[in-house]
């Protein structure tokens, strides 16, 4: 997390200015149908053979007096996805072998390639949410226009961030297979469990 965003988050929590309650944040979540994207292992980026990436367009609304990043943090935390951060998306291809990840676009827009070198490029905009199953390659391919992203992880996560070629591919695939499906959806909680999709 950038130093500026870290200070801003701390100030919001201390003063309450721009920081929504859990109920306020939950009320800003819009019911949306997930777009499912399943990526094959390309020999370099493992992706996830059984769990598709979930893309939700305009899934979170905002109010002027609330910080959009704080809204995402509260929504995710309210559904058990904590250890959040505020930043952008790395411009190098990487994935996580021991955790799932959620990304919420709090401000701006960005083009991201999901699924590795042979994957798919998607433009994400303010309010969009992407739920990445463990192993899914992701990389920013264009500079974000005033971009601010909030990321978070389910309980019990063990964060790693390898790039293709940095770890043994077979071991990565085995680690990904051991990551359990969280009980709660980062946007919709237990009302739409991830087991519906995964």
Token reading at 167:
């770890």
Distance CA 123, CA 1 (A): 22
State the chain's mean pLDDT as an integer: 92
195 lies in a domain? no
Distance CA 173, CA 12 (A): 40
How many structural domains compose the chain? 1
Instruction: List, as one string, the DSSP characters of 91-154.
Output: SS-B--SS--EEEEEEEEEEEEEESSTTSEEEEEETT-EEEEPTT--EEE-S--EEEEEEEEE-
**pTM of the predicted protein model:** 0.91
Mean predicted confidence (pLDDT) in 58-67: 94
More confident residue, 8 or 172: 172
- Smallest Cα–Cα separation from 109: which of 95, 128, 94? 128
194 lies in a domain? no
Containing structural domain, residue 27: 3-189
CATH assignment at residue 84: 2.60.120.10
Each residue's pLDDT tens digit, 84-109: 999 999 999 999 999 999 999 999 99
The confidence score (pLDDT) of residue 60 equals: 97
């Amino acid at each position: 997390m950038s130093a500026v965003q870290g200070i801003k988050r701390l100030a919001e929590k201390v003063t309450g200015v721009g920081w929504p309650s859990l109920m306020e944040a939950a009320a800003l979540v819009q019911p949306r149908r997930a777009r499912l994207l399943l990526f094959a292992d390309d020999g370099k980026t493992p992706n996830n053979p059984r769990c598709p990436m979930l893309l939700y367009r305009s899934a979170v609304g905002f109010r002027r007096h609330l910080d959009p990043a704080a809204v995402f943090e509260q929504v995710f935390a309210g559904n058990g996805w904590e250890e959040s951060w505020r930043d952008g998306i790395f411009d190098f291809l990487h994935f996580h072998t021991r955790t799932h990840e959620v990304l919420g676009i709090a401000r701006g827009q960005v083009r991201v390639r999901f699924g590795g070198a042979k994957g798919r490029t998607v433009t994400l905009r303010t309010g969009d949410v992407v739920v990445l199953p463990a192993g899914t390659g992701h990389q920013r391919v264009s500079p974000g226009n005033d971009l601010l992203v909030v990321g978070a992880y389910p309980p019990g996560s063990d964060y790693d961030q390898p790039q293709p070629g940095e770890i043994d591919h077979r071991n990565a695939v085995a680690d990904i297979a051991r990551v359990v499906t969280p009980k709660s959806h980062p946007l919709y909680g237990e009302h739409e469990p991830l087991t519906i999709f995964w």
